[in-house]
Amino acid sequence: MTRRPRALAALAAAIGLALILLGFAIRPPAPGPPPDYAPAPEVSIEHDGGRPDGESGGETGSERSAPTLDERLYSAGALPAVDCPRPAVGDTSADGLREFAENAVDRCLMPAWSPALRRVGVRLDRPVIKIVTTAEASSPCGPMSSKNLVLAFYCTDNATIYLFTDGARRYAERADWLPMTVLAHEFGHHVQRATNSWPVDDAASTGALRRTELQAECLAGVWFAEGKDNIRDFALGPVLGRYVGNETHGSVESRRRWFRAGFESGDTDACRTYTAPADRVG
Ligand SMILES: [Zn+2]
C-alpha cells in the first residue's frame, strides 16, 4: 500500500533553498507494532531540506483539506510535571551533548509525554538518539546536511532523532538549556508519529507540511509549559528569538505563535494547526 511520494519529489522541489532550522523526515514506522500501539498511516512524506534534482510538479500551492488526524493527540491535554535534572548542556563535546540528549529524552521528555499519551491509549516508545559530529548524516529517510543551519532532524523510519553537534553548540553558547528547544521540537515529531498526527495525503503540499512543523513547535511549547520549571534561568526571549522563518517551517511570527499556543495553554488541544486558518500558519 504504497501511496508513495509523488508528493515527496514535488515537495523537495518546492522546498528548494529554504533556510531550514529543523529538518524532519516522516515515513511509516516499521511493521508489527505492539497491539496497543497506534500505527501510523501508510503514507510517506519526506522532507530532506531540498533536493535540487527533485521532480517538479504536483505542488499546487493550495492548502489541502484538513487531513484525518488522530484526535487522541488533542485529548491528551496537559503533561504531568516532571522532575528532570537540569536539561542543559554541561559540556559541548560530543560525549557531553550525547549525555545531555539522553538525559533530556529519558528523564524529561519521555516521563512527560509517555503517561499523557498512555491516558488516551497511545503507547510511546523511546526514540533513538544519534549524535552527528559530521556535516552530513545518513538515515533511512535519506541524507541530511547540517548546512543551512539544520540543527537536528527526525526520521520516522527508525524513530530516531539526529542531533548535529555544531548546531547544538551554537545554541548552547546562547543559553545552555536552549538546545532543549530543539529536542522538544524533534520529540514533537516523535509524538506525531505515535498519534498519526501528520497529513495523510499523498500529495501533501508545502503548506500541509508547514502545519506539521508548526504543530511540532506547539508540542514543544506544551512540554515547556511544565518543563521550564526544571530550568533555572529559563526565559521566553531566547526561545522566541531563535526562530528563523522559512517556507517549510513557517514565518518567524507563525513559529512564535504556535510555540506560545502550546506554552501558554500547556494543552495539546491548542495545537490544532491542521484546521487553523491559513493566515495563522503562514
Ligand atoms: Zn521539525
Distance, CA 85 to ligand 1 centroid (Å)? 25
Q: Alpha helix locations (H) across the chain?
A: 6-15, 72-75, 94-103, 110-118, 165-174, 179-195, 206-227, 236-241, 252-265
Q: How close is the Cα of 150 to the center of ligand 1, in Å?
A: 10
Supply the pLDDT for residue 15. Answer: 32
Question: 222-252 burial string, b = 16+ CB within 10 Å, else e?
Answer: bbbbbbbebbeebeeeebbebbebbbbbbbe
Give the model's pLDDT for residue 147: 85
- Radius of gyration for the alpha carbons in the chain, expressed in angstroms and rounded: 17
CA of 189 to the centre of ligand 1 (A): 7
Give me the pLDDT at residue 38, please: 29
Query: Residue 120 C-alpha to ligand 1 middle, in angstroms?
Result: 24
Q: What are the angstrom distances between the C-alpha of 98 and each of 129, 205, 215? A: 8, 34, 26
C-alpha of residue 44 to centroid of ligand 1, in Å: 16
How much distance in Å is there from the Cα of 212 to the middle of ligand 1?
8
Reported residue count of the chain is 282
Instruction: Quote the ligand 1 centre to 251 CA distance (angstroms).
Output: 14
Give me the pLDDT at residue 133, please.
Answer: 96
Question: 148 and 130 in contact (C-beta within 8 Å)?
Answer: no
Q: What distance in angstroms lies between residue 15's CA and the mean position of ligand 1's atoms?
A: 14
Ligand 1 center–CA 24 separation, angstroms: 5
Maximum CA pair distance of the chain?
49
Pull the grid cell for residue 126.
523511546
What is residue 41's predicted lDDT score, i.e. its pLDDT? 30
Question: Backbone phi, then psi, for 107, in 5-degree steps?
Answer: -115, -10
Residue 26 — φ and ψ, nearest 5°? -125, 125
Residues near ion ligand 1 (Cβ under 5 Å)? 22, 24, 213, 216
Q: Take residue 11 and report the three cell numbers written for it.
A: 515537495
Give CA separation, 183 vs 7, 53, 106, 128, 160, in Å: 27, 30, 12, 12, 11
- What is the structure's pLDDT at 180? 97
* Nearest-angstrom CA–CA distance, 265 and 275: 18
Give the dihedral sign, CA 97/98/103/108.
positive
CA 152 to centroid of ligand 1, rounded, Å: 8
pLDDT tens, N- to C-terminus, the chain (282 residues): 333 333 333 333 333 323 334 444 444 333 333 222 223 332 223 333 322 222 222 333 334 444 345 789 999 999 999 999 989 999 999 999 999 999 999 999 999 999 999 999 999 999 999 999 999 999 999 999 998 778 999 999 999 999 999 999 999 999 999 999 999 999 999 999 999 887 655 456 788 889 999 999 999 999 999 999 999 999 999 999 999 988 888 999 999 999 999 999 999 999 999 999 999 999
Nearest to 258 by CA among 237, 240, 244, 241: 240
CA of 180 from ligand 1 middle (Å) equals 14
Tell me, what amino acid is at 109?
A: L
Distance 55 CA to ligand 1 centre (A): 23
User: Cα of 185 to ligand 1 centre, how many Å?
Assistant: 6
Q: What would the grid cell of residue 231 be? A: 530550568
Spell out the SS3 assignment of 175-203: CCCCHHHHHHHHHHHHHHHHHCCCCCCCC
The pLDDT of residue 237 is 96
